[in-house]
Amino acid sequence: MIIPIKPVSVNLPSLSGQSAQQGGPAQAALAFLKPGSLQLSALPPLSLYVHFPWCVKKCPYCDFNSHEVKGSFPEDSYLDALRADLESALPLIWGRKIYSVFIGGGTPSLLSAAGLDRLLSDIRTLLPLDIDIEITMEANPGTFEAEKFKSYRASGINRLSIGIQSFNTAHLAALGRIHDGDQARKAVEIAHANFDNFNLDLMYALPSQSVEEARRDIRTAIDCAPPHLSLYHLTLEPNTLFAKYPPQVPDDDASADMQDMITELTGAAGYQHYEVSAYARPKRQARHNLNYWQFGDYLGIGAGAHSKLSFPHRIVRQARHKHPQTYMEKMRTGNAIQEEGEIGRDALGFEFMLNALRLEDGFPVNLFNERTGMSINAIDAALNDAEKKGLLYRDHAIIRPTELGRRFLNDLQEMFLFE
């Protein structure tokens, strides 16, 4: 699972009408190249996100843009749309190299081996890729087929992110997952046989889960020896079935005990806790995820995908149409972008800190200027306030949350909202 931070500070203005009048999304976005108030000394690293919107079954906790497969899905038509989407975006990223690719969903492992190969071939044809590029694909245990995953690896996928969530069959059923504990373990075996780099997604504070049950899940995950672990606290997101019919979940004290247990077990096993929910073996941090947290750029293609693209004097966000059918129809007319807008100076400081403060080691002071085009003095008042409250440490080289700041991260991030 990958959870890029959503732009909370502002609702971007919809420029889709203006874009259509000016000849489509590429022409409209190129208009942002005119001189403005920002001054970026260099463009940040660029990643590619590809969204696959279908899944076998919608989980009751899921608020991602995913749609249940009703018998089949239009693989060829969707791949046509993805290629056209990528081609239409090329004028925005001419000459920029791609350092990571993430294929997320939904359940991308529903793609046929031939379909995945076609997708990666199109990406290689149209984009310059870094020689050490990380190409991640999300996969759910209920869709694991050994031969298909061998083909995925041969096509160029070099990292898997496996949505285990739990090894406990009863808890998996409560989460609405289509796999059981045995299938979860089998998926890990297939991953080990074909990939030397993979992530396991797990959730804790599940309905009726005890601390000891959570401990068994984490121990089982560590025993699987994944290079990377993503461990998420279950949240009851709006517009989900769990929000409408809330299950009984562990209280705050039990959740805190689970978090302490996770810190203890992962640390003892040699995992570095480098981001709020991410733990990695040395040199196995997720490059794609790090680019989000460090306020890098990403081009998102596919239904509902989001982009953040920097230009010397502007930083722009885009959002594609969410429903797969609408997205494909719009793409056939040359404009799959539903919303497009510039991130204003008043929002940039907050959006940068919203991401960067998730990193356990914080960020170099000069990164703020590199990624926002503004001086760190623009958020000096909030920095001083956070430091006085013991939520933040800073010196001439680094800014990072303290242990107290990590515990009250939402409060710390909100301090930069109105800077």
Compute the average pLDDT of residues 145-155: 92
Compute the average pLDDT of residues 339-347: 93
Residues 177 and 61 in one domain: yes
Name which of 9, 19, 99 is nearest 318 in CA terms: 19
Indicate the range of 42-46, 142-146, 151-155 predicted with least confidence: 142-146
Mean pLDDT computed over every residue of the chain: 90
Q: Does residue 388 sit within a domain? A: yes
Residues 280 and 390 in one domain: no
Residues 104 and 229 in one domain: yes
What pLDDT score does 335 carry?
86
Name which of 178, 181, 232, 176 is nearest 203 in CA terms: 232
Cβ atoms of 80 and 333 closer than 8 Å? no
Residue 402 has pLDDT above 80, yes or no: yes
Name which of 159, 185, 34 is nearest 103 in CA terms: 159
Percent of the chain topping pLDDT 70:
91
pLDDT digits (tens, 9 = 90+) for 191-212: 999 999 999 999 999 999 999 9
Residue 411 has pLDDT above 90, yes or no: yes
Q: Which residues contact 254 (CB under 8 A, 6 or more apart)?
A: 205, 210, 211
Q: How many residues appear in the chain?
A: 419
Signed CA dihedral, 245, 231, 287, 198: sign only: negative
Last residue of a domain, one of 269, 293, 317: 293
Last residue of a domain, one of 293, 315, 348: 293
Residues 288 and 373 in one domain: no
Name which of 308, 282, 340 is nearest 27 in CA terms: 340
Q: Does residue 109 sit within a domain? A: yes
Q: Does residue 336 sit within a domain? A: no
Residues 286 and 394 in one domain: no
Q: Does residue 10 sit within a domain? A: no
Residues 286 and 395 in one domain: no
Residues 370 and 283 in one domain: no
Residue 2 confidence class, pLDDT cut points 50, 70, 90:
very low
How far is Cα of residue 37 from the mean position of the Cα atoms in its chain? 29
Last residue of a domain, one of 241, 266, 293: 293
What pLDDT score does 18 carry?
27
3-class SS of residue 176: coil
Q: Does residue 1 sit within a domain? A: no
- Which helix H or strand E contains 121, and what residues bound it? helix 113-126
Residues spanned by the domain of 58: 16-293
67-68 and 98-105 strand pairing: unpaired
* DSSP-assigned beta bridge partners for residue 46: 98, 297
SS3 of 345-403: the string is HHHHHHHHHHHHCCECCCEEHHHHHHHHCCCHHHHHHHHHHHHHCCCEEECCCEEEECH
Q: Does residue 5 sit within a domain? A: no
CATH code, domain carrying 407: 1.10.10.10
Predicted TM-score (pTM) of this structure: 0.89
How far is Cα of residue 68 from the mean position of the Cα atoms in its chain? 21
CATH code, domain carrying 231: 3.80.30.20
Assigned token pair, 109? 């492992």
Q: What is the dihedral of CA 6, 143, 269, 398, to 10 degrees?
A: -20
Residues 285 and 387 in one domain: no
pLDDT digits (tens, 9 = 90+) for 269-327: 999 999 999 999 999 999 999 999 999 999 999 999 999 999 999 999 999 999 999 99
Domain count, the chain: 2
CA dist 373 and 348 (Å) reads 9
Name which of 418, 274, 245 is nearest 346 in CA terms: 418
Residue 419 confidence class, pLDDT cut points 50, 70, 90:
low
Cβ atoms of 53 and 304 closer than 8 Å? yes
pLDDT digits (tens, 9 = 90+) for 224-234: 999 999 999 99
What pLDDT score does 334 carry?
86
Percent of the chain topping pLDDT 90:
82
How far is Cα of residue 306 from the mean position of the Cα atoms in its chain? 10
Q: What is the dihedral of CA 318, 324, 325, 328, to 10 degrees?
A: 50
3-class SS of residue 225: coil
pLDDT digits (tens, 9 = 90+) for 49-100: 999 999 998 898 988 889 999 889 999 999 999 999 999 999 999 999 999 9
